[in-house]
């Protein structure tokens, strides 16, 4: 079977979104649903509930008081942010994490993605964005297309990794050469299959350039820069050792505060290490 056909078939055969996430989303669409009812839905998955509380209590969110219940997490973090954490944990658990491809394995990719999520949210806060609910999730989800390659074309993806190492080229270029499709396009197919918001589809498909058309979107721009920062800081491993230059249009428009990198570096690293330990634990 043609490689692209195998990839598309794999996307089409993906299971629907996890039941807990779907149930939670449907409940949140009802304006009469209470925090207690949402907490009850989340609490049906004890492992996820435990991790949500650990994430909520990490310095990443900077909450002043301790969060002891899911109801409190919904109150302090917001309904959508808790739903996003549920989604991230569900997707991480939906894909195999123990496959090894020379120097690249899914666990390293998830660590990189969490690093991008951390950097993206910290960038959003630094540029004054008031609604940061989707920033962490967007960073985590940006490279989801690579998981399809791990899962459904492992032999061909091993060749991609070999090409990256032998020719010292970016993984997105090696993917196109071997597979005929790169992870941004494959990730877009997944996001569309799962009927995720168009904002997420755009993040996945355009995180390399940071642009959709001519407009600057702060969330997409933050993911674009967050990916570069995570690579520069070696947070996890995205499949190659390249540190891309930021899109100059993004760089000029986003206006990060002077000295951002020197002041934010320690927080990014500390938050990344804590969240990787929480989110990737069994």
| pLDDT for residue 168 | 93
Residue 212: phi and psi, rounded to 5, are -120, 110
The least confident of 95-104, 165-174, 201-210 is 95-104
- Is 81 part of any domain? no
- Is 46 part of any domain? no
| pLDDT for residue 98 | 60
Question: What pLDDT, in 10s, does the model give residues 46-83?
Answer: 988 999 999 999 999 988 889 999 999 999 999 999 99
Is the pTM higher than 0.85? The answer reads: yes
Q: Report percent pLDDT > 90 for the chain.
A: 70
Strand partners, 215: 212
| pLDDT for residue 255 | 86
Q: Report percent pLDDT > 70 for the chain.
A: 97
Give the whole-angstrom CA distance, residue 155 versus residue 158.
Answer: 5
Three-state secondary structure call for residue 248: helix
Cα separation values, 8 from 12, 13, 279, Å: 6, 9, 28
Q: Is a pLDDT exceeding 80 seen at residue 16?
A: no
| pLDDT for residue 64 | 82
Q: Is a pLDDT exceeding 70 seen at residue 10?
A: yes
- Is 54 part of any domain? no
Q: Are 107 and 92 in contact (CB under 8 A)?
A: no
Give the whole-angstrom CA distance, residue 11 versus residue 25.
Answer: 22
- Is 241 part of any domain? yes
Cα separation values, 106 from 231, 238, 257, Å: 16, 9, 34
The least confident of 92-96, 180-184, 220-224 is 92-96
CATH for 155: 1.10.3210.10
C-alpha dihedral sign at 40, 46, 52, 53: positive
Q: Is a pLDDT exceeding 90 seen at residue 122?
A: yes
Q: What is the DSSP string of 87-134?
A: HHHHHHHHS-----BTTB-HHHHHHHHHHHHHHHHHHHHHTT-S--TT
Three-state secondary structure call for residue 34: coil
Mean of pLDDT over the chain: 91
- Total domains, the chain: 1
Give the whole-angstrom CA distance, residue 181 versus residue 3.
Answer: 9
Name the residue among 240, 238, 239, 226 with its Cα closest to residue 268: 226
Question: Using 50, 70 and 90 to split pLDDT, how confident is the model at 39?
Answer: very high
Q: Which residues contact 119 (CB under 8 A, 6 or more apart)?
A: 139, 225, 226, 227, 229, 230, 233, 235, 268, 272
- Is 86 part of any domain? no
| pLDDT for residue 96 | 65
| pLDDT for residue 100 | 58
Name the residue among 240, 251, 245 with its Cα closest to residue 166: 240
State the maximum Cα–Cα separation within the chain, in Å, rounded to a whole number: 58
- Is 29 part of any domain? no
For the chain, the 3-state helix, strand and coil shares in percent, each to the nearest 5, are: 65, 0, 35
| pLDDT for residue 52 | 94
- Is 27 part of any domain? no
The domain in which residue 241 lies consists of 3-16+92-279
- Is 125 part of any domain? yes
């Amino acid at each position: 079977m043609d490689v692209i056909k195998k990839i598309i078939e794999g996307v089409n055969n993906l299971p629907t979104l996890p039941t807990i996430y779907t149930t939670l989303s449907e409940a949140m669409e009802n304006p009469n649903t209470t925090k207690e009812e949402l907490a009850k839905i989340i609490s049906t998955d004890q492992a996820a509930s435990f991790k949500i509380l650990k994430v909520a209590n990490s310095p990443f969110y900077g909450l002043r008081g301790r969060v002891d219940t899911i109801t409190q997490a919904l109150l302090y973090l917001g309904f959508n942010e808790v739903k996003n954490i549920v989604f991230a944990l569900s997707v991480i658990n939906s894909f195999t994490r123990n496959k090894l491809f020379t120097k690249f394995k899914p666990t390293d990719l998830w660590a990189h993605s969490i690093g991008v999520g951390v950097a993206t949210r910290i960038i959003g806060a630094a540029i004054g964005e008031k609604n940061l609910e989707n920033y962490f999730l967007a960073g985590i989800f940006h490279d989801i297309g690579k998981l399809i390659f791990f899962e459904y074309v492992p032999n061909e993806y091993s060749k991609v990794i070999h090409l990256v190492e032998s020719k010292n080229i970016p993984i997105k270029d090696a993917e196109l050469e071997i597979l005929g499709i790169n992870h941004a396009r494959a990730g877009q197919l997944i996001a569309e299959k799962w009927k995720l918001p168009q904002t997420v589809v755009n993040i996945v498909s355009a995180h390399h350039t940071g642009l959709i058309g001519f407009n600057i979107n702060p969330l997409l721009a933050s993911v674009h820069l967050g990916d570069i920062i995570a690579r520069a800081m070696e947070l996890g491993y995205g499949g190659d050792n390249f540190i891309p230059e930021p899109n100059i249009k993004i760089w000029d428009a986003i206006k990060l505060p002077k000295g951002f990198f020197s002041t934010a570096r320690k927080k990014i690293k500390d938050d990344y290490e804590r969240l990787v330990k929480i989110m990737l634990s069994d």
